[in-house]
Structure 1
Amino acid sequence: MYQIILNLLFFCCSLVLVQSCQQKEVLIVERNPQKTPALYTLATDEEFNFKQDTLYLKNSKYSGKQYMLYPSKDTAFVKSYLFGMLEGVQKQWYPNGRLAEQRLYVSNKKEGKHLGWWSNGSTKYNYEFYNDEYNGTVLEWYETGQLFKKFHYEQGHEEGSERLWYQDGSVRANYVIKKGKKYGLIGIKLCKNPNEKVPKI
C-alpha cells in the first residue's frame, strides 16, 4: 500500500512538471523576419524622415534597404525596412571593411542573435533577444579577446549565473540570481569614495 502511494505521488509530480514545462514552451513563439524588397536607397536622401520610430520616404512608410557609404565608397551600413520598421538582418562595417555588427529585427524589435566585432576582427559581443528583450546568454569581450561578461536572462530579467572579469582575466563579479535575488560576489564599486577629498578648482 505504501509503495502504491509513493508511485502515485511520483506520477502526479511528474505530470505537474511536464505540464509546467509544456506551458513554458508555449510562451516562446518563434518570430521570423519577413522578406523586404531589394530596393536600395542612400541614407542621405533628403526625402527620408522619421515619425516617432517609423521611417518614411517622402510620405510613404519605407520598404527596402537604406545604406550609407564611406568616402572610400565602401559600405558603412545596410539597414532593412518593411513599412517603415526595421525588419531582417542589419549590418554595419568599419572603414577597414571588417564587419562591425550584425543584428536581426522583427517588426522593429530585436530578435535572435546580435553579434558585434572589434575593428581588429575579435568578437565584441554576442547577445540573444526574444521580442526586444534579452533572453538567453549575453556575452561581451575586451578588444584583447578576454571575456568581460557572461550573463543569463529570461524574458528581459537576469536569472542564473552571472560573471564579470577584469582585463587581466581575474574575476570582478561572480553571483547567482534566483527570482530577482542576488547571491555571491557582486563586485559593485562606488563611483566616488566618500572619504576622498574633492580637490578645489
Structure 2
Amino acid sequence: MLLYDYHRSTAAYRVRIALELKGIAAQRKEVDLLHGEHVRADFLRVNHQGLLPALALDDGAVLTQSLAIVEYLDAIRPEPRLVPEDPVVAAQVRSVALMIACDIHPLGAPRVVAHLKERFHATEDEIGAWRRKWQLGGLEAVEEAIRPGPYCCGQDVTLADVCLMPQLYSARRFEVPLDGFPRILAVEKACEEHPAFHAAHPARRSSREQE
C-alpha cells in the first residue's frame, strides 16, 4: 500500500491512526498542500478531486475519502474492529464520525478558507472567528453524543475516536477553546495513552518522511 499523505491533513491523519491500530504497514508519500502539490497533474491522476488522503493498493486500485478507506481497512483486517458489529452501536459510531468528518472538518478546509479570503476578502481575525464558530458548534454536538468510555462510544477505540483526535489537533492549531468539553477531553486523554494515536501524530511525521 502507498498512502498519499500530508502530515497536517486531519483527513489523512485519520487513516494513519487506523493503519497503526490495525498494524498495517504502508509506504507514505507526502503531498504538500501548502505548495499546491495536490492540484498538480501527477497527483490529479491519482485522485481527480485533488484531495487527501488517497490509498493506492498493490493491485492498482486507488481508494479516496478517509472514512471509506478506514472502512476498507476494517474489512480486510477486522481486528480491532473500528465499526462494531452491533448495528445500533455501529450507527452511533458512524454518527459521531460523520459529525466530525462531514459537519465540522469541511468548513475549515484549506479550499474553503482560501475562498473566504479570495471572494470575501476575509481577514485573519475573521477567519479565526469562522473556524471557532463551526468547530465549537460541531464539538458541542459531539460532546452530547459521547457515551460512557473511556472512548467515544464505550470501552473500545472506534471510528469515532479516529475522527475526533485529528479534529482536536486542528482545534488546538487554530486556538479553538476546548475547556467546555469535559467528555471530549476525557476521551482525548485516553487516546493519547494509546500507542497507535501517538505514532500517527503529525509531530512524528516530518515533511518528506518516507517510511
* Structure-2-length-normalised TM-score: 0.26
Higher RCO structure, 1 or 2 (CA under 8 Å, sep 6+) = 2
Larger radius of gyration: 1
Pick the structure with more strand per residue.
1
Pick the structure with more helix per residue.
2
* Structure-1-length-normalised TM-score: 0.26
